Chains A and B, each alone.
Chain A
Amino acid sequence: MTGSIVIYFSIMGMLAGTIGMILSKNIIKKILSLGIVETSINMMYTGISSRGGIIPPIVSGDFSLSYADPIPQAVIITGIVISFALLCLSLVLAIIIYNNYHTMDVETIERNFEREEE
């Protein structure tokens, strides 16, 4: 029950993040929307692992309890690290772009590139 609710909410969050990536014109906002997408996916894995129960999967000798599934939790730690690295890298790239053009607006930057090419 809890698991399904978390999964549905995380998919909604992912859709919201995707729409934000398309609609916002500011690079930082785009990167933050990407962060929302990534966090939602990470949350979905927590939801997957809690479908069978929400007790932490530390063996106490009592097997009648409904433990959470440890595998998705274990693998998504890697996913969290990767999304952290991606966010850092994208902000670094945004800084490089800002230092050259002194703007964060996508359309202005792309117009600048077109002018350079001509």
Chain B
Amino acid sequence: MITLILIPVLGGIVCLAFKNRQRLCMTIALATTITNGIILPFQIFRVVEINVGEWGNLGIRLAIDDFAMPFLLSTFFVMLAITINSIRKQYDGFFYSLVLILFGTLNSIFLSRDLFNIFVTVELASIISFILISYEKKARQAWASLKYLLLSSLGLNLYLLGIGMVYMETGSFAMEGLNSVSTVASVLIFGGLAVKSGILLFSMWLPDAHSSAPIHVSPILSALIVKIDVYLSIRFVTFDSFLWLKDFYISIGLFSAIVGAYMALNSLNAKRLLAYSTMSQVGFMMVNCDKSSSWHGFSHAIFKTLLFLVVGNISYRLGTKKYDEWNGRLSKWEYTFLLIGSLAMIGFPLTSGCVTKEIIIHGSCCPWVRGGLYLASTATAVSFCRLIFLRPSKESTAMPVTHTLSYLLLTGVIFVHGILGFELYELEALIPVSVGILIYVLTKRYLKPLPNKIEKLDLSLIAYLLMITLSLGVALLAT
């Protein structure tokens, strides 16, 4: 199990040593990722738990089980697609070494079972993502990264305060201690990690960071960094002290799903549209907060990576992120992959998005939640109609082989997952899709971008702290 963590990190260190030799680093990155993929099937189908070192409860504990499996799989597929796609982009060895170390760190987050180790690995993943966001050293990227840094380190300090309280109460950092800690500690642990989750109002750094990051970094942010908190929340709600969280997640998840989709509906920048829809999809995952949401995390990681890569490469080629100006300038293949990603996103039958989204909608607890989720998926359909109804150009433009290869890999995963998981009741996903298309055709003239004042640094800090106060109130009332 520890090989899953060690191999990418070692590969990253080797890349760092040879960082001036770009081709060698690329080969190392590809080889390491594929090696990890070969090891993965031998590891994930068993339930194993080991203690590293001989420290018992005080040491680092690693374990693997059903919750972690989709996340480990999605990490592998996303990293492979990004490595293949970035071959033509002439990144130096430093980029590949950061990506590989991030790969190992993410694997280790999904395997850790003790609270302090989670803190260290989450901080390491965050630091690497700050560097990656500002990799091209543009002022805009630096600002997005700094905003993310300030919010995220404040949140993780709250988390550290929370696990300090857990240590005071139970005498160890083991996760089992969470069964019997005070409510305040559970609020601090939840609230501290929620800054990375992408739930609306908790993490308003997200649209800026996702939309201004380099082409091959936005997919990592949206598919993997956001999933850290999704995974940890799914893990934490199984403990007794977090019972209040399950009901709270239904309301904030629903709120985030609907409002995020509405904000996506109104944005003119393609990357911002994808960033807002990440918030909406995280809301979908949080409503259920069990195994179905971890599989939705997997399918979301795959199709969001496809969309971000396609949109990033198109906007790099055409020099603009505004999708209105793409009309008639897309090549046929680019349009095809954009279409497949958007269809998976809005939950068209036979794609992976449909399978997992329908399971979440049918597994939700009560009718009003189900209605809210249908509303959110209609709004998602409306917003992605804007990408679906773009016109491809007549003349054919050649697409690099590496791009085609990575898109085909992700498309294959989308369809295999969608066809294997197909059930007849999923056809009712056609209702929100067709209603969404109808609404789009009727209202497309009236959609204008919303003001994004709330994304300013001070306001997002205040919103975050207010949400933590709110969750503290909810938790104290519930217990």
- List the interface of chain A (C-beta within 8 A of B): 11, 14, 18, 21-22, 27, 30-31, 34, 37-38, 41, 44-45, 48, 51, 71-72, 75, 78-79, 82-83, 85-86, 89-90, 93-94, 96-97, 99-101, 106, 109-110, 113, 116
Query: Is B6 interfacial (CB-CB < 8 Å)?
Result: no
A59 and B104 alpha carbons, distance in the complex (Å): 37
**A-B CB proximity, top 4 nearest:** A100-B139, A96-B142, A93-B146, A93-B142
Given contacts A110-B457, A113-B140, A113-B143, contact A22 B161 (CB under 8 A): no
Give the CA-CA distance A71 to B170 in the complex, in Å.
13
B157 within 8 A of A: yes
Contacting residues of chain B (426-479) with chain A, CB-CB under 8 angstroms: 456-458, 461-462, 465
Give the contacting residue for B153; candidates A34, A45, A75; CB below 8 A.
A34
- Inter-chain contact A90/B150, CB cutoff 8 Å: yes
Name the residue on A nearest B134 (C-beta).
Answer: A93
Which one, A14, A89, A110, contacts B157 given CB within 8 A?
A14
A89-B131 contact given A72-B167, A110-B456, CB 8 Å threshold:
yes
* Distance, CA A99 to CA B138, complexed state (A): 10
Interface: B31 (CB within 8 A): no
**Cα-based distance from A97 to B127 in the complex (angstroms):** 18
| B127 and A85 within 8 A (CB) | yes
**Distance (Å) between the CB of A13 and the closest chain B CB?**
11
- Chain B interface size, as a band, is 20 to 34
- 12 chain-A/chain-B pairs, Cβ below 8 angstroms: A45-B164, A48-B167, A71-B167, A78-B116, A78-B120, A82-B120, A86-B127, A90-B146, A93-B142, A93-B143, A100-B142, A116-B140
A37 contact from B130, B157, B167, Cβ within 8 A = B157
Identify A97's interface contact among B146, B154, B465, CB under 8 A.
Answer: B146
Interface string of B140-175 (1 = CB under 8 A from A): 101101100110011001001100100110000100
> How far, in angstroms, from A14 to B120 measured CA to CA in the complex?
20
Q: How far apart are A4's CB and chain B's nearest CB, in angstroms?
A: 10
Does B65 reach chain A (CB closer than 8 Å)?
no
Closest A residue, CB atoms, query B148: A93
Minimum C-beta distance from B365 to chain A (A): 35
Interface SS of B by simple majority: helix
Whole-angstrom distance between the Cβ of A60 and the nearest chain B Cβ: 22
Q: Is the CB of A97 within 8 A of B139?
A: yes
Query: Nearest residue in A to B116 (C-beta to C-beta)?
Result: A75
Given that A82-B120, A97-B143 are known contacts, is A34 also in contact with B150, CB under 8 Å in the complex? yes
Q: Looking at the assembled complex, report how far the CB atom of B327 sits from the nearest CB atom of chain A, in whole angstroms.
A: 21
Residues on the A chain within 8 Å of B247, using CB: none
- In the complex the two chains form, is B139's CB within 8 Å of A22's CB? no
Inside 8 A of A45's CB, which chain B residues have their CB? 164
A21-B150, A27-B146 as given contacts; A71 in contact with B58, CB under 8 Å: yes
**A79 close to B462 (CB less than 8 A):** no
Q: Is B123 interfacial (CB-CB < 8 Å)?
A: yes
Q: B167, A38: Cβ atoms under 8 Å?
A: no
Report the separation of the CA atoms of residues A116 and B146 in the bound assembly, to the nearest whole angstrom.
19
Residues in A with CB closer than 8 Å to B465 are 18, 22
Q: Is the CB of B139 within 8 A of A41?
A: no
Is B137 located at the chain interface by the 8 A CB criterion?
yes
Residue contact A48 to B143, C-beta cutoff 8 Å: no
- Contact indicator A18/B167 (Cβ below 8 Å): no
Give, as a whole number of angstroms, the nearest-CB distance from B425 to chain A: 44
With contacts A21-B154, A85-B127, A89-B130 known, is A72 near B142, CB below 8 A?
Answer: no
With A41-B161, A93-B142: A86-B149 Cβ-Cβ less than 8 Å: yes
Chain A residues in 8 Å Cβ range of B143: 93, 97, 109, 113
How far is A116 from B139 in the complex, measured between Cα atoms in Å? 11
Q: How far, in Å, is A108 (CB) from chain B's closest CB?
A: 12
- CB neighbours of B457 from chain A (8 A): 30, 106, 110
Question: Which A residues lie within 8 Å of B137 (CB)?
Answer: 96
Contact B154 A34 (CB under 8 A): yes
In whole angstroms, how far apart are the Cα atoms of A43 and B123 in the complex?
A: 19
Q: A96-B139, A106-B457 are in contact. Are A41 and B157 (CB under 8 A)?
A: yes
Q: Told that A22-B458, A90-B150, A99-B139 touch, could you supply 10 new A-B pairs with CB distance under 8 A? A: A18-B154, A37-B154, A41-B157, A78-B116, A82-B127, A86-B127, A93-B146, A109-B143, A110-B457, A116-B140
**Residue of A34, A94, A96, A109 ringed by the most chain B CB atoms within 10 A:** A96
CA distance A34 to B263 in the complex (A): 31
B161 and A14 contacting across the interface, CB-CB below 8 Å? yes
Whole-angstrom distance between the alpha carbons of A78 and B173 in the complex?
Answer: 15
Residues from chain B with a CB closer than 8 A to the CB of A90 are 146, 149-150
